[in-house]
Structure formats: structure tokens, C-alpha cells
Amino acid sequence: MKIWKNIITLSFLMCLLFGTQHTAMAEEQTKEEFNAGEVIIEHILDSYEWHIFTWKGHEVCLHLPIIVFSEGRGYTFSSKVFHEKDSYVTTNKKTGETITFAIPRDGKYKNKVVIVNADGTQKRPFDISITKNVFALFISCTILLVLFFLVTKAYRQRGEKAPKGLQSLFEMLIVYVRDDIARKAISEKQVDRYLPYLITVFFFIFINNLMGLIPIFPFGANITGNIAVTACLALFTFFITNLLGNKEYYKDIFNTPGVPWFLKFPLPLMPIIETVGCFTKPFVLAVRLFANITAGHIVVLGFISSIFIVAQISAAGGGAMSVFSLILVIFVDCIELLVAYIQAYVFTLLSALYFGMASKEHHH
């Protein structure tokens, strides 16, 4: 019962922080017309700056470095230049040509750095900027390294003694991933080969999911709700599965046992289906994680935005709606705490199942 009280209290505080963080921005927009869609999308998508809070009408932001390459030359400048003006003009030191950078607010390259040509056309440079999600990834990876180093240090100091504190929590989760996920999906001979990746991806997703629920700097970035991040994780699973797969794995793809011959030759229907399945599996991994995490954030932002939508009609209605929305946000946040674990578990479990299929042994 105590743990549920702690969860509800934590969720309540998170909601209050979340509401405080967005109130100033929302109040400015309600002077004209509050656009819930823009507010939600702004917080879901990646950006070149990190809005921390608004103080007396002034936005306090962390302006991140923009790093782009065009025609073999690199350009580095702060995103603050676009906060002060619409474009940034620099010179190619080699050719002396003037280059104009901008971030369009609409169109094909909306919210992306582009080069504006003399005729007004736009083109995208090669962009490796330190965006909000990239910066948050640095933070989460640092947190993961620190936590694992602390746990490793505890094992060295305590030796064979019973685990304690953080060590106890991590040991429980690591043993769970090893015994209830990896060993049940992968053969005993091969499990140690894949276990380091499975443990890493589980903690990476779990920690980033939790960080995304804390709406204050340096947390609150939508890392696992970014399709590029989830696609990268899925590609790791894809390459590990197919590069380390044994001959039995490929035999099942190109010569599926138990299937009538006419489905293999002359029309290789089953091999085509199995080959397509090799690519749809990582696609499903990426989309499932991305969609579930993003949906949770959108629901929370939707309930918060509804307060200001109703307040435009009636101040009393906005006050009543705030109580109702806060209750719903607390409920959704409790669900998201559960989803943060479930999505890490599902991604790890499916990866383990794919590894198990790729390393299974032939039984006579």
C-alpha cells in the first residue's frame, strides 16, 4: 500500500510541475487563441533549443549548438541566433560565398535548419546538430554509466554479501532479464552471447521512459517517443539477429520445413514471406515503442491543454476543468509508469525471441 501512495504522490508532484512549466506559455497564447495542437506538437517533437521555463514574459532556454555540413564545409553556430532573428548569414571562407541559414516555421522543412539560396529556394545541409533529444541522450547515458559503475563498485566492496540498496534493485532487474526473458527464449549454450545486449537495451529504454515522465530540466525529452531512436534500437536487433544467425535459421527462411513443395518452387512464396518477415519484425519493434510512448505524452498534454481551452470560454469553467484534468493526468501518469516498464520488457522479450529463433539448434 505504501508503494502506491508513493507513486500517486510522485505523479501528483509531476503534474503540478508539468502544469507550472506550461502555464506561462499557455497564458501568452490565450491572449489571442490557444492552439492546443501547436503546444502538444512542440513538446513532442525534437528541437534545436530546450525551453526550461518562462519568467515574467521572458523565455529561459538552453540554446544548443547547430552543426551542419554543406559542399564539404562544416558550419557551427548556436541556435540562439534564430531566437533573435529569422536567419543567420555567414561566409564560406574558401569561396567567399555568402550562405544564409534559416529554420522555416512551415513547409517541407518545417523546424529544420536549411540553406536559403539566392532565388529563395531551400535545401537541407547534412545536419548532425546537438538537438534536445541528443542532449537528453547524453544525460541518460551518463546516468546509466554512473548507476552501473556504482553497482559494480558495490559488488567489489561487498563481495559475497547480500546486495543492498541500489545494488539490490539492479540485481533483481538483471536476474529477471537473464532468467525470465533471455533463458526462456534462447538456448542455454547461446544465451550468454546475447545477454549483454538484452540487459543494456532493457535499462536504456526503461531509464529513458522514466526520464520522459519528469517534466523539468534536464528531463522531459521525448527520447523513446522519437522514431529515429526506436528505429536505431530496432536496427541493432535486426543486425544482431541476421549476422549471428546460424544455418538452421536461414534454412527455415529459404527452405521452410513442413511446407508443401509448390509453395517453394517454382513460385518461392514462403521464402518471400519469410524474407519480408525479417524486415517487418524490427519495423514493428520500432513503431510499437515509438507509438506507445508518444501516445501517453499526447494524452497528458491533451488533458493539460483542455484547461486553457475551457478557460477561454469561462474562467470558472477553467478552474473546474483544472481539477478534473489534474485527476485524469495523475491517472494517466500512473499508467505511464507501468507502460515505461512494459515497453522495455516487450522490446527486450521480442529481441530475445528473435535471437532464439536465429540460434536454435536442429533436433532430429
Amino acid of residue 159 = G
Enter the C-alpha cell of residue 226: 522519437
- pLDDT value of residue 32: 53
Q: In whole angstroms, what is the distance from residue 334 CA to residue 183 CA?
A: 30
Enter the C-alpha cell of residue 115: 540553406
Alpha carbon of 167 to those of 164, 204, 210, 341: distances in Å? 5, 17, 19, 19
Q: In whole angstroms, what is the distance from residue 191 CA to residue 355 CA?
A: 9
Give me the tens of pLDDT residue by residue for the chain, a chain 364 residues long.
454 455 445 444 444 444 444 444 444 444 456 677 777 777 788 888 888 877 776 778 888 999 999 888 888 888 888 877 888 888 877 777 888 898 888 878 888 888 888 788 888 999 899 999 999 999 999 999 999 999 988 888 887 788 888 888 888 999 999 999 999 989 888 888 999 999 999 999 999 999 988 888 888 888 998 999 999 999 999 999 999 888 887 787 777 777 776 666 677 777 788 888 889 999 999 999 999 999 888 888 888 888 888 887 877 777 888 888 888 888 888 888 899 999 999 999 999 999 998 887 765 4
- pLDDT value of residue 297: 86
Name, in order, each residue with C-beta under 8 angstroms of 110's C-beta and a sequence gap of 6 or more. Answer: 104
What global pTM score does this model have? 0.83
- pLDDT value of residue 8: 47
Enter the C-alpha cell of residue 107: 513547409
| Widest CA span in the chain | 75
The answer to whether residues 318 and 304 touch, using CB atoms and an 8 Å cutoff, is: no
Amino acid of residue 84 = E
Dihedral through CA 222, CA 226, CA 230, CA 232, nearest 10? -120
333-338 long-range contacts, CB within 8 A, separation 24+: 333/11, 333/14, 333/15, 333/213, 333/300, 334/7, 334/8, 334/11, 335/296, 336/213, 336/296, 336/300, 337/7, 337/11, 337/210, 337/213
DSSP 213: T
Quote the Cα angle for 16-22-26, to 5°. Answer: 130
- pLDDT value of residue 24: 44
Enter the C-alpha cell of residue 139: 544525460
- pLDDT value of residue 261: 67
Enter the C-alpha cell of residue 86: 529569422
Which H helix or E strand runs over 102? strand 98-102
